[in-house]
């Protein structure tokens, strides 16, 4: 079965700092990063390794649909909201990204 993971900023930042971003690529066939998550990471310090990892282009960057009002009411961060909005909008992600 093909695995497609959608990740928020935290795992990318932590794994990049540890030099272990390869773990994501080893565990999933494709790692998807919503544009809002990429923007969060790119807003960080220039020397942040997570920015370099994103710039390498090994993860699929995608736009996400507008989140539903109920999701916005949860008061999550932009990245978390984008990840959940994508999951809610496309319950058949395996077929969409495959």
pLDDT in tens, 34-68: 999 999 999 999 899 999 999 999 999 999 889 99
Q: Which domain, by its residues, includes 39?
A: 4-97
Q: Helix 35-42 crosses helix 78-89 at what angle (to 10 degrees)?
A: 160
In this structure, are residues 66 and 79 in contact, taking their beta carbons and an 8 Å threshold? no
What span, in angstroms and rounded, lies between the C-alpha atoms of 69 and 40? 21
pTM attached to this predicted model: 0.82
pLDDT digits (tens, 9 = 90+) for 7-29: 999 999 999 999 999 999 999 98
Q: How many domains does the chain have?
A: 1
Q: Which of 25, 66, 29, 56 is nearest to 11 (CA)?
A: 25
């Amino acid at each position: 079965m093909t695995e497609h993971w959608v990740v928020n900023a935290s795992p990318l930042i932590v794994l990049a700092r540890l030099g272990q971003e390869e773990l994501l690529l080893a565990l999933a066939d494709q790692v998807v990063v919503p544009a809002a998550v990429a923007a969060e990471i790119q807003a960080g310090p220039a020397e942040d390794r997570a920015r370099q990892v994103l710039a390498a282009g090994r993860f699929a960057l995608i736009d996400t649909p507008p989140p539903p009002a109920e999701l916005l009411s949860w008061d999550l961060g932009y990245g978390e909201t984008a990840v959940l909005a994508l999951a809610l909008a496309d319950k058949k992600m395996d077929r969409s990204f495959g």
